[in-house]
Amino acid sequence: MSVFSTILRQIVNGLQSGSIYALVALGYSMVYGIITLLNFAHGDIIMVGAYIAWLSMAKFSMHPAFAILAAILGCTLLGMLIEKAAYKPLRGSPRISLLITAIGVSFLLENLSQMVFGAKAQVIPTFFEIPSIYLGSIELSGTALITLLAAAVSMVLLTFLVQKTKMGKAMRAVAEDTDAAQLMGININHTISFTFAIGSALAGIGAILYCSAYPQATPTMGSMLGLKAFVAAVLGGIGSIPGAMIGGFAIGLAESLVSAIGLSVWRDGVVFAILIIVLLVKPTGILGRPMREKV
Amino acid sequence: MKKLLSIALVAMMALSALAGCAAPVATDTSASDASAADAAQPAASGETIKVGILGPHTGDYAVYGLAVKNGAQLYIDQVNAAGGINGKQIETIVYDNKGDSTEAITAFTRMVDEGITALIGDVLSGNTIAVVGEANPINMPMITASATAVGATYNADTDTVYTNVFRSCFIDPFQGEKMAQYAAEKLGAKTAAVLTMTGDDYSVGLADAFKAKCAEVGINVVADEGYSKGDVDFKAQLTNILATAPDVIFCPNYYQDDGMIVTQARELGLTSTFLGGDGWAGVSAYASAADLEGSYFCSAYAPGSTDAVKKFEADYTAAYGADTLNMFAATAYDAAQILVAALTKAEASGAATGSDEYKQAVIDAIKTEGPSVVGITSETGYTFDEHNNPIKSAVIMTLTDGVETFKEMY
Amino acid sequence: MKQTYKKIPMPVRYVINTLLFVAFLIVGLSLIQSGVITKYYTKVLMLIGINIILTVSLNIATGYLGQLPLGHAGFMAVGAYTAAIFMTRSGLDASVSFPIGLVLGALMAGLVGVLIGIPALRLKGDYLAIITLGFGEIIRVVLLNIDSVLGFKLTYGAASLKGIPKETNFLNTFLCVGIACLLIHTMMKSRHGRAILSVRENEIAAESCGINLTYYKVLGFAASAVFAGLAGALYAGYLGILNPSSFGFMKSIEILVMVVLGGMGSMVGSVLSATVLTAVPELLRAFSEYRMILYSLLLITVMIFKPSGLMGQYDFSLSRMLEHVFNQKPAREKTNHKAGEKNG
């Protein structure tokens, strides 16, 4: 085992978890950009996605392709439901109320699924057998490569959606100035709903990729994942799509680097330390725009 | 209108919560059947002997807590059906501590207020130590079926034994030592790696003992890696281990993590033999048969090994289903056996039930009666050492074709 | 209206409050002595006391200062571990080391509060919430792993810090609750308290009135940490064993729920909700399985329908109530009431 191949493996490990973080971070970033809400429940949507995948395959023995569709669809609907039920009535209230509600939703989802599915981890069957790829003497896991690929494709599509379509334009307008956008004839409710749908669909894809890498579903699996993805979003610059990608990969690589040098128990600590440093040094993140303070 | 809509939606969420409650989930039955058991027994005779059963019946560790509760209840129900002790029925007072030490203490105090004479529990080591802090000053007899930390019966700082606390499981260092010895003698291992959950008393306890014993038996520990509770990606640590190519990898963690570790290790091309502690029981559902093949773990209980064990398993499954039938159900059954034997002796002494002399008589009787109890997990009886730990041999289990099978006593 | 509103002079107010406090204490102690309140209920009362201190302390930062720290359990952990390490290591008799431990725990938590507060409070809103969450997690990770870094036994990490003298009892918990509430109350009634409130209402306006934002934010934050540390120290003496996992994100949220339900900025609300949310799940053990679900539903519904919490910013004052009674004559009250209705 050469040092080089160990390093290469660690980089692939980091990129794999990094691309999942990036996908989740995108969801955070979009929602934050449009209604400046830190959607704490975002990580838990992933958890629900994982349970949907488990239910459809292990309980209803559906074809993996349908299970994937069901998970993504379920996440999308759940995201929209949460927005309608919990966040919409609070539009215009202080940010602190929104944030507390988001925490409440997150806890509700976690505890409901603990009650329904139990605290025991459920094993998610393999979606598809993906052969490993050999790069010289080094074996690279197929799952890792698919994860990377899926993340990249989702991001390209998302960029296209936001930059080139009419809905994307509306989203950007609402994020810029909600009132002005409304005056220009943009339906705020539809746009916000759509943003939640897209963000949650990304969470659904994230759930599938997560489950193919770590095939277990537990009620609390989303909370740490969500927090780390949020760190990634902040690091890259919240509200920015390429920023979320950069942040996700950076967090993934940092984590596997910390573990690689034998400090794995400090991994969570390091992630939060990165967050603190970023917030203190450059609160807008790597690609974020400076925020104006309104009087 | 907005508010109306959200009322409706919140109500829907609440309803779905209730629907969840109504769904037949195995771990949800604790409260109801506990109270049913409480209500049913006192009616049988006027005076009862009250025994507390404490553990996590909900939350992350419910699998262990429910196993202990059911295992102990199973034997006590059998005794009650046969007429009880000295004409008195045994009444169990069952409380859930959700795996939280604060709740464990309040629940235990409530049991004491309600007049228990002995306790079977607590389940997790940390909770048990917290409860011992309350139980020791009042000399409450306690048998834990699952708290494997040394500190539950013995305070190393002050070199004092908690004379009122016993256990029917073995202690952490014992398993770690056994596995190191087994690796050296039976598997001929020369190098070993360790991967532990650092936030966990049990995992760290086993790993420390394993490493210490390795130095003694001539195994070189070439990699020592850790992870935190809730981690799902072990590839970075496993890549480090892979670079050292050890003969065996000791993973003294809980089965869910171990399953994931083994899967990811094989994915990376790691071929070393995996060793584990009793936390591995149940691992077969969490990794493929091929990946697990040839792994060994230490246990206290060999499923289906003798007729007595088979009878216990049949009775347990009939009463509670097979979901929670694990090692701790067996050690809890044994704990209940020891306790009932001791209570019988104490009743014979004539002391008033629940008095201080009575409690002392129970504690004395656990020591004297223990050796004659033929347990599910110890056919040779329960003899306690100077730290109130049972002297019994370990069961080595192995994974063949995805089934956890009995290998040998060691 | 010619009649002047009679006021109770300050010294008398203090006497009334002190008498009431002592009366409560004596009734409580005698009930425990006589066994009417069993050991179990005493334990529950102690837990309620600890939770009250936690809630009123978080209320300083959330209710009065208007920030949302999510790492309150971290400060509690600092206080708990400081007190526990002092008590187990000092070699002093437990009756001596416990009060010192309480003070040390509170001071240490305050110190950490200042250290964290200075950088963290440069941020606002969600960012502040997240950074305090980060700090809280870091405190937990450090407590868990510090031993392996320093190489000696300090926190015992996952193996739990054991053998802490169980010195917390009803009397000292009750005294601590009284002291905490009194100190917080007097602080909030002082010049500094009003400055803190002005920061909550409008930072820019406050700053232009010459209030040093950073100073008052850190002051409020540190005060919040001090009392969390005190509660932590009591908790250490209550439990006798400490494990870093008890001070996770969940614990912070539990405290937050109590503050939010009671009303952000209302001390009496905090005290009431801490009491109810501790006592009810404890007394209805069978129901406690659904506690967390109920908590989260409470959070959401309270935020949607009454974002100010059950008590809003209302603070109860016995003296004010007495004044009200003294100043009312039954006949006049009616006419006043009617007049008020017409005007409204």
For chain C, the structural domain boundaries read 10-338
The DSSP 8-state label assigned to residue A294 in this structure reads P
Provide mean pLDDT across the span A124-131: 80
Query: What gap in Å lies between CA C221 and CA C166, rounded to an integer?
Result: 29
Query: What gap in Å lies between CA A278 and CA A247, rounded to an integer?
Result: 11
**Per mean pLDDT, which of B270-274, C224-228, C268-272 is the most reliable?**
C224-228
The residues pairing with B53 across neighbouring beta strands, listed in sequence order, are B94, B120
Q: Extract the tokens encoding A173.
A: 């307008």
Query: Is B390 inside a domain boundary?
Result: no
The number of beta carbons lying within 10 Å of the beta carbon of residue C329 is 10
C289·B110 Cβ contact <8 A: no
Within a 13 Å sphere around the CA of B21, how many CA atoms are in the beta-carbon half?
A: 16
Same structural domain, B33 and B62: yes
B51 closest CA partner among B96, B92, B81: B92
A36 closest CA partner among A82, A78, A97, A85: A97
Q: Comparing A100-104, A257-261, B4-8, which segment has the lowest mean pLDDT?
A: B4-8
Interface check C192 vs B, CB under 8 A: no
Query: What gap in Å lies between CA A137 and CA B269, rounded to an integer?
Result: 12
Same structural domain, B190 and B53: no
The DSSP 8-state label assigned to residue C247 in this structure reads G
Buried b or exposed e, range B229-264, using 16+ CB within 10 angstroms: bebbbbbbbbbbbbbeebbbbbbbbbbbbbbbbbbb
Same structural domain, B95 and B198: no
Q: Is the pLDDT of residue A291 over 60?
A: no
C135·A265 Cβ contact <8 A: no
Q: Which residues have C-beta within 8 Å of that of residue B330, sequence separation ≥ 6?
A: B71, B300, B301, B309, B312, B376, B377
Same structural domain, B133 and B282: no
Q: Considering only CB atoms, which chain A residues are within 8 Å of C264? A: 96
Interface check B15 vs C, CB under 8 A: no
Query: Is B45 inside a domain boundary?
Result: yes
- Chain A nearest CA to B325, separation (Å): 14
Nearest CA in chain C to B7: C301
pLDDT at A54: 93
What CATH number is given to the structural domain containing B233?
Answer: 3.40.50.2300
Query: What gap in Å lies between CA B143 and CA B332, rounded to an integer?
Result: 9
Backbone angles phi, psi at B301, to 5 degrees: -140, 130
Within a 13 Å sphere around the CA of A207, how many CA atoms are in the beta-carbon half?
A: 36
Same structural domain, B247 and B361: no
- Asked if A17 and B233 count as a contact pair (C-beta separation under 8 A), the reply is yes
- Chain A nearest CA to C77, separation (Å): 16
Chain B neighbours (≥3 Cβ pairs under 8 A) are A, C
Instruction: Could you please state the CATH topology (level 3) that the domain comprising C10-338 is classified under.
Output: ABC transporter involved in vitamin B12 uptake, BtuC (1.10.3470)
Interface check A121 vs B, CB under 8 A: yes
- Chain A nearest CA to B9, separation (Å): 6
Same structural domain, B160 and B221: no
Nearest CA in chain C to A114: C293
Q: Which residue has the tokens 């579903």?
A: A217
B204·C290 Cβ contact <8 A: no
Q: Is the pLDDT of residue A230 over 90?
A: no
Q: Which residue has the tokens 């999308």?
A: A76
- Cα–Cα separations (whole angstroms), residue C272 to C55, C88, C267, C275: 10, 34, 9, 5
C297·B228 Cβ contact <8 A: no
Q: Which residue has the tokens 């450090």?
A: C142
Q: Considering only CB atoms, which chain B residues are within 8 Å of A120? A: 27, 62-63, 256
Interface check B225 vs A, CB under 8 A: yes
- Over residues A178-214, the pLDDT tens digits come to 889 889 889 999 999 999 999 999 999 999 999 888 8
- Asked if A171 and A10 count as a contact pair (C-beta separation under 8 A), the reply is no
- Chain B nearest CA to C145, separation (Å): 8
Q: What DSSP line would sit under C132-176, residue for residue? A: HHHHHHHHHHHHHHHHHHH-S-SS-GGG-B--------HHHHHHH
Q: Comparing A104-113, B182-191, C149-158, which segment has the lowest mean pLDDT?
A: C149-158
Same structural domain, B181 and B291: yes
A21 vs B406 pLDDT, higher one: A21
Q: Considering only CB atoms, which chain A residues are within 8 Å of B286? A: 121, 123, 216
| 3-state DSSP assignment of residue A6 | helix
C289·B58 Cβ contact <8 A: yes
Same structural domain, B401 and B281: yes
Q: Considering only CB atoms, which chain B residues are within 8 Å of C304? A: 3, 6, 10
Average pLDDT, chain C: 84
Please give the torsion angle defined by the CA atoms of residues A66, A67, A69 and A72, in that order, rounded to the nearest 10 degrees.
170
C170 vs C151 pLDDT, higher one: C170
Chains A–C, number of C-beta pairs less than 8 Å apart: 111
Interface check B236 vs C, CB under 8 A: no
Chain C neighbours (≥3 Cβ pairs under 8 A) are A, B
Indicate which of A272, A274, A278, A293 best probes the interface with C, i.e. most C CBs within 10 Å of its own CB.
A272
Q: Extract the tokens encoding B376.
A: 């599910």
pLDDT at B46: 64
Within a 13 Å sphere around the CA of B145, how many CA atoms are in the beta-carbon half?
A: 35
Q: Comparing A65-79, A130-144, B261-275, B328-342, which segment has the lowest mean pLDDT?
A: A130-144
- Over residues C287-314, the pLDDT tens digits come to 666 777 887 888 888 888 887 777 777 7
B216 closest CA partner among B187, B173, B251, B181: B181
Q: Is the pLDDT of residue C340 over 50?
A: no
Provide mean pLDDT across the span C157-181: 87
B273-276 and B248-250 beta bridge pairing? parallel
Same structural domain, B404 and B263: yes
Query: What gap in Å lies between CA C40 and CA B109, rounded to an integer?
Result: 5
The residues pairing with B225 across neighbouring beta strands, listed in sequence order, are B195
pLDDT at A141: 75
pLDDT at C289: 67
Query: What gap in Å lies between CA A30 and CA A48, rounded to an integer?
Result: 20
Q: Extract the tokens encoding B105.
A: 């203490």
- Which of left, alpha, beta for C277 (phi over 0: left; psi -120 to 50: alpha)? alpha
Strand runs (DSSP E) across B135-265, as ranges?
142-144, 154-155, 160-161, 165-167, 191-197, 220-227, 248-250
Q: What DSSP line would sit under A236-283, residue for residue? A: H-TT-HHHHHHHHHHHHHHHHHHHHTT-GGGHHHHHHHHHHHHHHH-T
pLDDT at C334: 44
- Which of left, alpha, beta for B234 (phi over 0: left; psi -120 to 50: alpha)? alpha
The number of beta carbons lying within 10 Å of the beta carbon of residue A149 is 12
A273·C134 Cβ contact <8 A: yes
Q: Considering only CB atoms, which chain C residues are within 8 Å of A108? A: 293, 296-297, 300
Q: Considering only CB atoms, which chain C residues are within 8 Å of B198? A: 144-145, 148, 157-158
The residues pairing with B161 across neighbouring beta strands, listed in sequence order, are B154
Backbone angles phi, psi at C224, to 5 degrees: -60, -45
Extents of the domains making up chain A: 3-281
Interface check A110 vs B, CB under 8 A: no
Q: Considering only CB atoms, which chain A residues are within 8 Å of C127? A: 234, 279, 283
Question: What is the count of structural domains for chain B?
Answer: 2
pLDDT at B319: 92
Query: What gap in Å lies between CA B91 and CA C225, rounded to an integer?
Result: 46
Chain A neighbours (≥3 Cβ pairs under 8 A) are B, C
Query: What gap in Å lies between CA C192 and CA A164, rounded to an integer?
Result: 54
Residues of chain B with pLDDT under 70: 1-46
Interface check C125 vs B, CB under 8 A: no
Nearest CA in chain C to A89: C304
Amino acid, single-letter form, for residue C4: T
pLDDT at C183: 92
Same structural domain, B40 and B158: yes
- Chain A nearest CA to B6, separation (Å): 5
Q: Is the pLDDT of residue A106 over 60?
A: yes
Q: Is the pLDDT of residue C103 over 90?
A: yes
Indicate which of B13, B63, B237, B239 best probes the interface with A, i.e. most A CBs within 10 Å of its own CB.
B239
Smallest Cβ distance to B109: which of C40, C148, C235? C40
Tell me whether residue B81 is exposed, middle or buried, using C-beta atoms within 10 angstroms of its C-beta: 0 to 12, 13 to 18, 19 or more.
exposed
Query: What gap in Å lies between CA B228 and CA B199, rounded to an integer?
Result: 6
- Chain A nearest CA to B402, separation (Å): 15
B191-197 and B220-227 beta bridge pairing? parallel
- Asked if A95 and C126 count as a contact pair (C-beta separation under 8 A), the reply is yes
The DSSP 8-state label assigned to residue A205 in this structure reads H
- Asked if B109 and B350 count as a contact pair (C-beta separation under 8 A), the reply is no
Q: Is the pLDDT of residue A274 over 90?
A: no
CATH code of the domain made up of A3-281: 1.10.3470
B96·C289 Cβ contact <8 A: yes
Query: Is B389 inside a domain boundary?
Result: no
Indicate which of A28, A87, A111 best probes the interface with C, i.e. most C CBs within 10 Å of its own CB.
A111
Q: What DSSP line would sit under C35-89, residue for residue? A: TSS-HHHHHHHHHHHHHHHHHHHHHIIIIIS----S-HHHHHHHHHHHHHHHHHH
Same structural domain, B266 and B403: yes
- Over residues C34-48, the pLDDT tens digits come to 877 888 889 999 999
Q: Considering only CB atoms, which chain C residues are within 8 Å of A280? A: 119, 122
pLDDT at B42: 41
Same structural domain, B141 and B45: yes
Query: What gap in Å lies between CA B233 and CA A254, rounded to an integer?
Result: 13
Structural domain harbouring B368? 28-170+306-379
- Over residues C54-77, the pLDDT tens digits come to 999 999 999 898 888 889 999 999
B59·A221 Cβ contact <8 A: no
